[in-house]
Structure 1
Amino acid sequence: MKAPARDTQPQRSLYSYAHAVARRRFKSKQNKLIRQVFPKYDLLGWYSIGTHPTESDMAVHKQILNHNESPLFIQLNPLINPSLAKDLPLHVYESVVDLVDGSNTHKFAKQKYKIETGEAERIALDHVATASNQDSDRGSTLIANLTTQRNAIKMLHSRIQILKAYVRDVENGTIPRDHELMRQIASICQRLPAMNSTEFQQKILSDYNDILLGSYLAAITKGASAINEPRN
């Protein structure tokens, strides 16, 4: 006798529902933890990749509505040729509610945006956009600034070496002592920071410990997130 066929569709539906509930509970718990660490921050929206919004994006967006009444959706388009594009390959959307066939329907509405950048961000982006190699004469603003600082440091080092050689020759009696010049050298030495002072050592040790602590916390957070991430 053949065993009766079983309908597995309800089991798949039950699994999908349970998986979705588990994901929502995980996200809710994660948002609570983030709010405890960053109480002044709020969830503004989310992002994805693609050429245009899809129904799947709207389904995720509706879940974000539980945490923010008007979240933003940023979609990055990886298919745009960066050499031909004039603007950044991203679009910003907000959800609007339209009345379709007598029922409220959520739709994405494209919004205009303006990017505000600081000087450091502008230099970094310019360096990434116009990064040069050894075979090219083109260079970014970052390379030019670093080259200028390097040349200034080299010049300062060479001038200090000249002053050290002069003081050494005066002490050895090779050249006569010029008191006016020695006073100027003493004035320059007083302007230079003392790198071996106790205050400097404490400051650099404090900064070093802060950087190590930040690295350790980042590693712990990454490991905890990987452990708590539910497996499909």
Structure 2
Amino acid sequence: MGSKAPATNLLLTTKPSEAALSVQLHPLVLLTISDYITRHISRQQLGPIIGSILGRQHGRSLTLEHAYECKTGEGDGGVVLDREWFDERLEQYKDVHKAPALDLVGIFMLGPTQGPSDIHLRFIKEVQKLTSTDSVMLLLFHPEQVDQLQGGKLPITLYESVKEQEGGDVETKFRELGFEVETGDAEMIGVDFVATGAGVASAVPRGDSNTATSAAESSSKEKKTKGKGKTKETDGGANGAVAAGILSPEDEELIASLTAKSNAIKMLHQRLSLIRSYLNSQPSSYLTDATSKEPAPDSTNHTLLRSINAMLSRLPLLASPSAPSAAGLSPATAADKEKEDVHLTSLLSALTRSISETQVLSSKFNIVAREKAVKERSPFAGSGGGMNKGGGRLGFGEDGLLSGGDSGGY
């Protein structure tokens, strides 16, 4: 992969695609590739950088959503993928990402800007054989373009593997594809984590661990022999650790927190400066200048001005008032405060008692009203019996027969 590709790459096809392929690339794939390359180089690991990309394909629409590194080993033709590890890890990712279901759609590797080389073609054919599919894409990351690109461009190129027949043989070639970056909630969380945590990231050389171990062993031996020089040696070791630039997890967390707060303050200052510049650019208004008779221009954004006014109105409510300390109050003021507290307590007690009495009175009124309604609906209510058809009261005579009142009866 270190050798340069020829000027005319024979692995790139010149035939145009019959149907355009729409590709959406998610930032999680880029974060995974960047993290893997950084760890691979920092740990001085050997072997090629290769990983799998998971996504979904619906016709000519393709998404690249997740990625992970692949394990390699020595084979007959050189470096090859570990088949058992590859199959097991792919099944694990499929089990995790079931809704929506994801599948392997491509691989990523390092490569030159001229295009794929023979080693890329060999790994593509190997992945096609392992997955029993021909539609495997290739994402090449160009490390030489990391410090050169500007304007938000990415140092990557996406290729589609196609089958072409030349002579009597069928060969695999690559066709360059365009892509769009699709951002979701998970990607925003990942990007925010990288942005806040990258400020405290530090790479420790691989040989420092052995050096530190040998230094610790020699220090312990000196402590056993000398005895009295224990404090000085401990201080020297601590100073050496600080001088080496190795921070404790607590210090890293504190630095990350302070960095996040500093970034938030800078962003707030920038936005306030922007609002102030916008307000200064506006013409004088009759709301602030009584002598101005010029109407507001048509380009005035009244919605934005109302939002700024509402924000300024809410600021006094968000800021908590600074309460005076008890030690700084005069005796008369302190007595008035205590008197106000006593009066407030008595008012609350009277209000609570009035509410309780109102509830009792309401309950009694409901009971009386319900009993009155029951008596009015009863046909035999009263002490002398019920009402007859003539309007008089019904009663029983001396002979035991039912008789009416003054207005007549039966």
The TM-score normalised by the length of structure 2 is 0.29
Q: Which has the higher contact order (CA 8 A, sep 6+)?
A: 2
| Higher relative helix content | 1
Rg comparison, structure with higher value = 2
